Amino acid sequence: MITTVSPTGSDTALLSAHAVTKSFTVDGRAVEVLHGVDLSIANGEFVTVMGPSGSGKSTLLYGLSGMDAVDAGTVRLDQVELTALTSDLLADHRREHMGFVFQQPTMLRDLGLLENIVLTSSLDRVGTPADRVSRAEELMRRAGIWDLRARMPAQVSGGQLQRAGICRALMRRPRIVFGDEPTGSLNRESAEQILDLLTELNRDGTTMLVVTHDVRVAARADRVVFMIDGRIVDELGLTGDAGPDLARVDAVIGRMRELGI
């Protein structure tokens, strides 16, 4: 299903959501957790989503990426309406255009890091085996984990494993990377390395949508979107603010205080 114009997004929107709702059934009753969300993300933009626990951030991320179906509303990636695709086509679209980074990557424990990174694209038969290995090697070098390529997942730190997870997410050169608290289980130093990597990948053109509780992560974005009780209540643009990270962090904290988050 190809449509030509998105009613909510601008022409440059890569991802746009309009009037998205989502409910879960709890004890036989439908409880709505997303109450008609509109969001538009420009090509190349780095957007973070902040909000209290339970405000619907992960649900929104899953809905926008097609990992979970929404109840109503539309989601478009570029000109393709994801919410109108069959589940098979949606899965193809996800594999081809989207990367995912979660709090902790799930890796096969009996395969080395390089093999784990290559595995999914091998199953999808993308390029030749040699292409896949050289792409994985290039990414691992960039992520600073090249020397760990033969290590098993249990033999590296949480931060190193997360860097491998990001490499895996980037194997197919996704147009957009979705992150759900990618630094949530890391110490500060590892979190900074992950952030540097995500920032660098964004500078190279990968659009990012990252849910986080960490103001330092949020402050790296071009724009921070704030969610409360299943609604986007505010946003803070940081584009053009070439000041030090600390000033951006202060701006995010200030807005959170105003919103009572």
Q: Is 69 in the site for ligand ATP (CB under 6 A)?
A: no
**Nearest-angstrom CA–CA distance, 52 and 261:** 6
Q: Is 33 in the site for ligand ATP (CB under 6 A)?
A: yes
Among candidates 65, 49, 90, which has minimal Cα distance to 182? 49
**Nearest-angstrom CA–CA distance, 61 and 210:** 8
- Determine contact, residues 10/83, Cβ cutoff 8 Å: no
Task: Select from Mg ion, ligand ATP, none the partner in contact with residue 183, using the beta carbon and a kind-dependent cut-off of 5 to 8 Å.
Answer: none
Among candidates 26, 9, 49, 14, which has minimal Cα distance to 256? 49
Q: Is 179 in the site for ligand ATP (CB under 6 A)?
A: no
User: Among the candidate windows 49-57, 81-89, 134-142, 147-155, which touches ligand ATP by CB under 6 A?
Assistant: 49-57
Query: Of the candidates 53, 86, 87, 128, which one interacts with ligand ATP according to CB under 6 A?
Result: 53
Q: Is 26 in the site for ligand ATP (CB under 6 A)?
A: yes
Task: Select from ligand ATP, Mg ion, none the partner in contact with residue 14, using the beta carbon and a kind-dependent cut-off of 5 to 8 Å.
Answer: none
Of residues 22 and 94, the one with the C-beta less far from ligand ATP: 22
Q: Is 24 in the site for ligand ATP (CB under 6 A)?
A: yes
Number of residues that bind ligand ATP (CB under 6 A): 11
User: Among the candidate windows 57-65, 80-88, 196-204, 231-239, which touches ligand ATP by CB under 6 A?
Assistant: 57-65
Q: Is 229 in the site for ligand ATP (CB under 6 A)?
A: no
Of residues 10 and 53, the one with the C-beta less far from ligand ATP: 53
Q: Which of residues 42-71 bind Mg ion (CB under 5 A)?
A: 58
Query: Of the candidates 59, 116, 202, 212, which one interacts with ligand ATP according to CB under 6 A?
Result: 59
Nearest distance, CB of residue 261 and ligand ATP, angstroms: 11
Q: Is 212 in the site for Mg ion (CB under 5 A)?
A: no
Q: Which residues bind ligand ATP (CB under 6 A)?
A: 24, 26, 33, 51, 53-59
